Every structure is written in C-alpha cells, then in structure tokens.
Amino acid sequence: MVLDGNDATTMNNLEKHAPRFVVILCVDDDREALDLLIRDVDGFCRGLISVERLDSAEDTMVRAEELAELDALVPLVIADHNLQGASGADLLITLHGHPHFLRTRKVLLSGSSELDAINQALQVGALNGCMSKPWTNEYLDDMLSLQLTEYFIANAPDRIADVSTLLDITKVTRALAESEHERHLLDRRLMTVQRSFLSSIDVKDEDVEEAMIACIDRSLNKPPRATIPAGSTLFREGDRLNYIWILLSGQVQLSRVVDRKETIFHARTVGRVVGLLSLSLGRASHFDCRTQTEVTFIKLSLHDLDRALRQDPMLSVHFVTVLLRSLSRRNSRAVELQLEVNALSRTIARERDHLEKALDGVKRAQKLLVEREKMATLGQLVAGVAHELNNPVAAIRRCSDFLVEDIRMLGEGHPDGATMIDILKRSFEAAPLSTRAQRSCRKDLAAALGDEDLAKELVEIGILDRVTYEDHFHGLDEMAVRPRLEKLKHYYQLSSSIRNIRTCAERIQALVKSLRSYSQSDAEFTSEVDLHESLEDTILLFEHDLRGISVEKQYGDLPRIACNTGEIHQVWTNLLSNAIQAMGGKGHLRITTDQIDTGHIRTRITDNGPGIAPDNVERIFEINYTTRRGRADFGLGIGLPICRNIIQRHHGTLKVESQPGQTCFSVVLPVDQRKGELADEQ
Amino acid sequence: MSNRIVILCVEDEPEVRDSIIRDLQPFAGVFRIEAAEDVADARHVLQECIDDGDRVGLVLCDHVLPGETGVSFLVALNHNEATKVIRRVLLTGQAGQEDTIQAVNEGGLDYYIAKPWRADTLRQVVRDQLTEFVLEEEDDLLPYVALLDSKRLLEAVSQRRSDS
C-alpha cells in the first residue's frame, strides 16, 4: 500500500494535474443502431464516463487525433463492423496502431458473423471483444464492465475510484491486492523487509498481529486505546471513512441490509484491520460495522498510519501480512457464502418445483370440485325442470287421448261419422310419409286422375291411391267433389293435429324421463336379469330406425345378473341411438356379448360409421358434448355421460374405441354387484 | 297450370312440417307450396319445379337437418346465379350465433324466425318476402294483389303504367 500523500484526501486524487477527460467512443453508420448503442452504453455509464457517437471511420480517426491531442483517456471503442466504405475491424486495427489508443479496449459489433475480419483484427491484437446485434442489456453491461475493468486496472488504476461503480469490484479488489503485493515486493527500500515479509508466511496470525501492533505502538508512541460495548456501531454502509480501526480484542461484524433484513457477511473473517479497503479505494463503505462483543481498538487516521509506515518499514510487512490474511479469509468467506447461496438456490428451486406440482394438484382438484359442483347443481336443476315439465306434458298427452275419444263419440251420431273415424284411424295408424314419397304418390295419382291439383290435395289428406279416392268420392258429380274434399281435409287435419300433439308430447315425456334418470342415484336393483332380453327389448324399439341397417348379433352364454333394468335399458337405448345416428341410418351394427371372466360380463355395440376423431373420444362423455349439432333426441347431449354414470353405479365400466369405419362401445358389468362394490373400494 | 311461384319449406320433423304447411295454407291458392325433409330433398324439389315450368320464390328453411345444414343450403342458393333471386328465410330454434352470422353474410338471409313461431308473424314475413320477390321478378303483379302487400303492389302497378 502506497500512501505518499500527507492527507487522506490525496488518496482520491493522485493526479498531479487536472483529471484527464474519460470518453468511450461508439461508431456505427446506422443511425438507429447507433442511437440504441449510445442509449445502452450511456445508461451503463451513468454519466461517470462520457460517451461519444461517431458515424463513420473517417470521423472516428479525426476525433481520435483530437482526443490524443487532449490526452484524453479512452478506455473503450465499440465499432460496428459494417461501416460505409470501411470495415470496423480495419478501423480498430488502425486505432490499435496509434500509440495513444494502443491500450484502448476495442470491441467489434457485428450483425452477422464475419469471421475473416474478426480473425484479422484478433491476430494483430486489435480486438478485445466481439458483440453481435442485437445485444441484450445484460450482455452489454457485462461486456462494458469487463472491458472497463481490464482497462482501468491495467492503465488507469488512479481513476478506478471515479468509475468504481461501473467496474467488476471483485476483480478490482483482487488486482489491487495483487498490485499492492507486487509493489511491496519490488520496493528497494524494503529489500530487507522483503525477506522478513516472506518469512512471515509461517508465522501464526496472532504473532503477526502482535508484531504489527507493537510496531504501531513504537512508531506512534502508543496511541490511545478505546473500548466500546457490544452493539456499538463503528460505521455504516455508505459512510466515507477517514480512519482505520485496529482491533485489539473483541469481535465485530460486517453486515448489510438485504431485502430489509440484516445479513451478516463477515464476523470471524473480519480480521484485525477494519475500514482499510474502503479507505484505500476512496469509496463509501460496503458494510455496516458493529461490535458483537466489547471491543478494544486503536483508531488511526490515514495520516497516522502513513507516518507509522514511514517510520518503521517492518510495519509494512506486518500490516500487509495482516491485511492479506484477512483479505484472503474474507475471500474464502465470500466463496463459502457463494456456495451457501448456490446450495440455497438449489433447495429453493427444488421447493419451488414441489410447490408448483402441489399447486397444479390443487388446481386440478379445484377444477374437479367445481365441475362436480356444477354437475350437482345442473342435476338438481334438470330434475326440477323435468318434474315441472312432467305435469303439463302428461296433461297434453291425456288431452290428445280425450280428443280422440270425443271425436269418436261425436262421429257415432254424425251422418258423416264413419268417414271421419276412418280418416282419424288412418291418420293414427299410417307411418308419416317422407316428402319424397308424398311427391311420388302425387305424381301417380295425378296421372291416374288427370288432375294435378286435385292429386296434390288428396295426397295431403292421406288419400294416396285411386282406390281410396273412389271410396270417398264415388258417385259424386264434379261440382260436389270440391266441397267434399274440403270436408275431408278438415277431418284429416283434425286427426293429424291430434296425432302430432300426441307424438310431440311423447317425445317431451321421453326427454323428461331421460333427464330425470340423469340425476337419479337411488334406483332399485332387480336380480336375475337376462341382459339379452333387455337388449332385444331395446332393439325392438328401434325397429323403425334400424330399417336401413343390418344387425348382427353374437350372443354369448351369460349368467343372469342383478341390475336396474330401467337404467340398463336406457344405456342400450343411448348406445343404439348413437350408433344409428353415427351411421346416418345405413350400415352394419354388431352386438356382441360374452363373459370375460368369472366375475364380469361384457356387451359390445359396434357400428361402421365414420368414427370419432381422436380429440373427441374423451369429450363424448362430457356433458353437453354432442357431435350431432343441436339434436336433442336423448337428453341434450347428455346421453353418454348418463350412460357412464349408470354403468359406474353398477360398478362397471363404459369404454369406447374408435377408428374410421369402426366405433365400439364396450360395457363391462360385474355379475355380482356386491363383489363389484368390493372391487371398487379396492 | 304452370309458371307458378313456389314456396319451399325445408323441415325434417313431420309434425313441425305439418304445422308450417298448414300455417301457409292461405297462400295455397296462388302459390305452390312444397315441402322437403332435408337439403338433398329440397334440391330435388327445386329441379322438379323447374321441370314443371314453375320457379321457387321463397325458401323457408330449418337449420338443423339430417345431413347438410339449412344455412349451408342457403349459402349455396346465394352463390348460384339462377337461385340467387330466391328469398331466403331461416325458421329455426337451434342455429347458433356463428351459423346465423354466416347465413346473413354468405347466405344472403332475408329473415330469421325463431321457433316457436306465431302463425301471423310467419304469414307476415312470407307475405313481405313474396311481395319483394314478385316486385323484382314479375311483370304482371295483379294476380298477387289480393294475397300479398296490396298497397305496395298497386303503387308499383300504377308506377309501371306511367313509366311505359
């Protein structure tokens, strides 16, 4: 440590003349890129170092001459490689050839990798770094910090204090320690001292410390000791220090407030000398320094220290030894701290992972709960609505029957009663004709009667052929045909309206029934059910819809099982209805039953429809999911969820496998419900 | 009798179809009323009408049908020069917003009636749309004065006379 001034302030200003102008040059011919670069570099330098913008190689060289003339300190030049008419690498090589800029750090900025140019610049040693566009702030800051640190340590250590906040302080400290070390080794005045210094390596800490204190006492005529109690503050973070403290006994701690929490960085690793680093760097203290125990110390101003060092060369040795040892202890403490931080980070990362997983689980559970809650609410709502609908719809259904009865009764006394009742019966019994069939009948009848309009009206009231026509219009002259037709039309419309009311009421009833069973859970079980019978019952119901479909049955030998027949019936109904819909009314349906093991029987319903898209396979069991847009035949798209519910209540499984041209719904039921229950619990 | 204007009703449920057809009976004297149960059938009817020398003036169409949807049918009608002039009405309870928007934007939808409908509303819409159609397409408006919007038709008749 060199202290050649008489006053502490000389530490901050070792220059004999006015401080040299410090400037970083940024060169780019692209205005926008240059703006960006200037902004970022200036942002980093925070006014501690000037930043100048140059937009061509020529201008840069002109400015370089001026700066050389001014003897300005140019720690760094950043040049874009692609300059108009010149390459940035060439510019840096030229600058490198200028004695004033030999030590200047030079960084090449390139948009694309131009290896040749970079290589060339590297080979003549004109390049200290490369940076590619676009850069990140982090990258730029690291680069600037590195380059400036290297430059100032090597070329302008006296200016480090001015720009210390921009530099890599670990490096500076190390370099400083090294340079101090070197200076001492090289100091001729301390040739003798050097030997004792080297020999002090083997000496114990306490001995060196005592030797140092003895030297100080000798040189300064035993300076006064002070004793302060535990918990006193020697200095605070951010204080500018004018003294050093040499501890004789007791313990101090160096701490900082990090995130509003006091963190102790050094305690045992503080060493005997406190405050020297900040003092020598002319910088505000990094730490708070407080006493942990009662502490006795000697407080020296720089002036005192300087005096002592000059009076006794041996003090330098002891002093530096003590300092180096404490620095090295602090350094290893820093390493330890870093290791602790790393370990903590790992632990934290692990815990964060755990937490994330746990959070995921909670979210999933919550979603499930919400879904379940929604379903429960929906179920109550549906059951409520179904119940409310049930009465009016039952009344409508009954009324349609009453109307039929009344018409029959009226018909008996009516002169035209026989015809009326005949048309009523026909309307009720005949399956509705498709529009296509209607048109075809109309054509035939028109041909037979030679009157297209008459044929149309006849077909509309269900008179489809000449024979029926003759039945109704036999013997009527031409003038009487039309009034008769009008009358028959009203009979027919009356009948078909009643029929439509009844059909629609039945559909609503079926819908209500399937809605109600959706929320039903305490259904009754019947034992000894033959599944084949229930399948056959269902198939019978679908006779009408199965006309275009070939049905293949492969029934295995099944034991009778206990189940809720109504519910199982509903499952078959849904599965068959789905299959028929999927095949569009034409195709091949296979129904297979078998016993897969002693405890389970399986029913498979396979259609050769287009299949379910893989993305949709799981969704078909969700409420409100239906591939038939808007159709509400079997419960508003809740058919399959209902089925799954029912099968689950039977402790069975409902699965689907689908590929283009083949979709198979497979229902597995336990033979014995009690065993099924046990299996579910396990 | 030919060169009649046809009202085509596309509806797959027979009960609903019956009701619509019956609600349209007042138009039956002058117009030919046809029913189809799906879009394929509706196309047949279109062709049959052409074969008979008649032409479709109004399509009253449900959206949810087996096979092709009503909106898709309306869009197809709108994209064909020969059928573009047909007035198009959607009569449905199940078309979602997207379908309806498509029907308006691409199908040139003229009117939307939600199910359940009221007979007088349905008839008023049919009357207005057919009035538009005959004003656009017919030279002789007099046969339609009694059934359709007589005020507009008579105004048009006198306008045309003074023009010629």
- pLDDT, tens only, A345-384: 888 888 888 888 888 878 877 776 776 666 667 767 777 7
- Mark yes or no for CB contact A629/B64 under 8 Å: yes
Q: How confident is the model at residue B1 (pLDDT cuts 50, 70, 90)?
A: very low
Beta bridge partners of A553: A591
Look at residue B162 and tell me if it is in a domain: no
The predicted model gives A292-296 an average pLDDT of: 90
Which residue of B37, B47, B65 to mutate against A (max A Cβ within 10 Å)? B37
Q: Which pLDDT belongs to residue A180?
A: 67
Q: How confident is the model at residue A669 (pLDDT cuts 50, 70, 90)?
A: very high
Residues of A in contact with B6 (CB under 8 A): none
pLDDT digits (tens, 9 = 90+) for A54-110: 988 888 999 999 998 888 889 999 988 888 878 888 888 888 888 888 888 888 887
Q: Which pLDDT belongs to residue A381?
A: 77
Residues of A in contact with B22 (CB under 8 A): 493
Regarding predicted confidence, which is higher, A521 or A474? A474
Residues of A in contact with B45 (CB under 8 A): 435, 439
A643 has pLDDT over 50: yes
Residue A108 token pair: 């090449």
pLDDT digits (tens, 9 = 90+) for A563-581: 887 778 878 888 888 888 8
Q: How confident is the model at residue A588 (pLDDT cuts 50, 70, 90)?
A: very high
Q: Please, what's the b/e burial string for A72-88 (b: 16 or more CB within 10 A of its CB; e: otherwise)?
A: bbbbbbbbbbbbeebbb
Contacts with A53 (C-beta within 8 Å, 6 or more apart), sequence order: A26, A34, A38
Query: Comparing C-alpha atoms, which of A274, A307, A314 is closest to residue A290?
Result: A274
The ipTM, to two decimals, is 0.76
**Most confident residue range from A30-34, A539-543, B75-79:** B75-79
Residues of A in contact with B66 (CB under 8 A): 584-585
Q: How confident is the model at residue A14 (pLDDT cuts 50, 70, 90)?
A: very low
- Mark yes or no for CB contact B64/A630 under 8 Å: yes
A435 CB within 8 Å of a chain B CB: yes
Regarding predicted confidence, which is higher, B11 or A273? B11
Cα A587 to Cα A434, A547, A592, A662, B12: the distances in Å are: 20, 10, 16, 11, 21
Q: Which pLDDT belongs to residue A139?
A: 83
Q: A558 vs chain B: nearest CA distance in angstroms? A: 38
The predicted model gives A147-175 an average pLDDT of: 81
Q: CA–CA separation, A643 vs A646, rounded Å? A: 5
Q: CA–CA separation, A404 vs B70, rounded Å? A: 35
The predicted model gives B136-159 an average pLDDT of: 92
Q: A500 vs chain B: nearest CA distance in angstroms? A: 5
Residues of B in contact with A441 (CB under 8 A): none
B70 has pLDDT over 70: yes
For residue B15, give the chain A residue with the closest CA: A500
Half-sphere exposure of A395 (CA within 13 A, CB side): 4
Q: Which pLDDT belongs to residue A191?
A: 55
Residue A507 token pair: 């559909």
Residue A523 token pair: 């259904």
Residues of B in contact with A584 (CB under 8 A): 66-67
A496 CB within 8 Å of a chain B CB: yes
For residue A632, give the chain B residue with the closest CA: B94
In eight-state DSSP terms, residue A658 is E
Q: A514 vs chain B: nearest CA distance in angstroms? A: 20
Q: CA–CA separation, A600 vs A333, rounded Å? A: 70
Distance of CA A99 to the CA centre of its chain: 55
A196 has pLDDT over 60: no
pLDDT digits (tens, 9 = 90+) for A197-237: 555 566 677 787 888 888 888 888 888 888 999 988 888 88
pLDDT digits (tens, 9 = 90+) for A477-513: 888 888 988 888 888 888 888 988 988 888 888 777 7
Which residue of A400, A433, A435, A439 to mutate against B (max B Cβ within 10 Å)? A435
Q: A465 vs chain B: nearest CA distance in angstroms? A: 20
Q: CA–CA separation, A108 vs A118, rounded Å? A: 8
- Mark yes or no for CB contact B64/A434 under 8 Å: no
Residues of B in contact with A438 (CB under 8 A): 35
- Mark yes or no for CB contact B15/A630 under 8 Å: no
Instruction: Give the type of residue at A386.
Output: A
The predicted model gives A418-430 an average pLDDT of: 82
> Virtual CA dihedral for B152, B153, B159, B164, nearest 10 degrees?
160
A307 has pLDDT over 60: yes
Q: Which residues on chain B place their C-beta less than 8 Å from a C-beta of chain A?
A: 1, 14-15, 17-19, 21-22, 34-37, 41, 44-45, 48, 63-64, 66-67, 69, 94
Q: Which pLDDT belongs to residue B86?
A: 95
Q: CA–CA separation, A369 vs A371, rounded Å? A: 5
- Mode of pairing for the β-strands spanning A105-110 and A261-266: unpaired
Q: A38 vs chain B: nearest CA distance in angstroms? A: 53
The predicted model gives A307-329 an average pLDDT of: 78
Regarding predicted confidence, which is higher, A519 or B22? B22
Q: Which pLDDT belongs to residue A220?
A: 85
Partner residue opposite A630 with nearest CB, options B1, B18, B94: B94
Q: Which pLDDT belongs to residue A137?
A: 83
A514 has pLDDT over 70: no
The predicted model gives B36-54 an average pLDDT of: 93
- Mark yes or no for CB contact B35/A631 under 8 Å: no
Tokens 């040059």, located at residue:
A25
**Model's pTM, two decimal places?**
0.45
Q: Which pLDDT belongs to residue A516?
A: 64
Look at residue B146 and tell me if it is in a domain: no
Give the whole-number percent of chain A exceeding pLDDT 90. 8
A625 has pLDDT over 90: no
A221 CB within 8 Å of a chain B CB: no
Cα A262 to Cα A151, A259, A266, A287, A335: the distances in Å are: 35, 8, 12, 10, 20
What does the radius of gyration of chain B's CA atoms come to, in whole angstroms?
Answer: 15
The tally of domains found in chain B comes to: 1
- Mark yes or no for CB contact B35/A496 under 8 Å: no
The predicted model gives A623-627 an average pLDDT of: 51
Q: Which pLDDT belongs to residue A115?
A: 62
- Mark yes or no for CB contact A436/B22 under 8 Å: no
Average pLDDT, whole number, for chain B? 90
A181 has pLDDT over 70: no
Strands (E), A56-206: 73-80, 82-83, 86-87, 105-110, 129-132
Q: Concatenated DSSP letters for A594-634?
A: EEEETTEEEEEEEE-SS---HHHHTGGGSTT--SSTT--TT
Instruction: Residue A674: count other Cβ atoms within 10 Å of its Cβ.
Output: 10
Average pLDDT, whole number, for chain A? 80
The predicted model gives B73-97 an average pLDDT of: 88
- Mark yes or no for CB contact B45/A439 under 8 Å: yes
The predicted model gives A340-349 an average pLDDT of: 86
The predicted model gives A377-398 an average pLDDT of: 80
Partner residue opposite A435 with nearest CB, options B19, B41, B69: B41
A270 has pLDDT over 50: yes
- Mark yes or no for CB contact B35/A630 under 8 Å: no
A495 CB within 8 Å of a chain B CB: no
Q: Which pLDDT belongs to residue A123?
A: 65
Q: Is A523 helix (H, G, I), strand (E, B) or coil?
A: coil
Q: How confident is the model at residue B61 (pLDDT cuts 50, 70, 90)?
A: very high
Look at residue B155 and tell me if it is in a domain: no
Range of the domain at B45: 5-138
Specify the range with the lowest mean pLDDT, choosing from A100-114, A395-409, A456-470.
Answer: A100-114
Q: CA–CA separation, A440 vs A56, rounded Å? A: 91
Instruction: Give the type of residue at A640.
Output: L
Query: Residue B64 belongs to a domain with what CATH number?
Result: 3.40.50.2300
Which residue of B1, B15, B38, B60 to mutate against A (max A Cβ within 10 Å)? B15
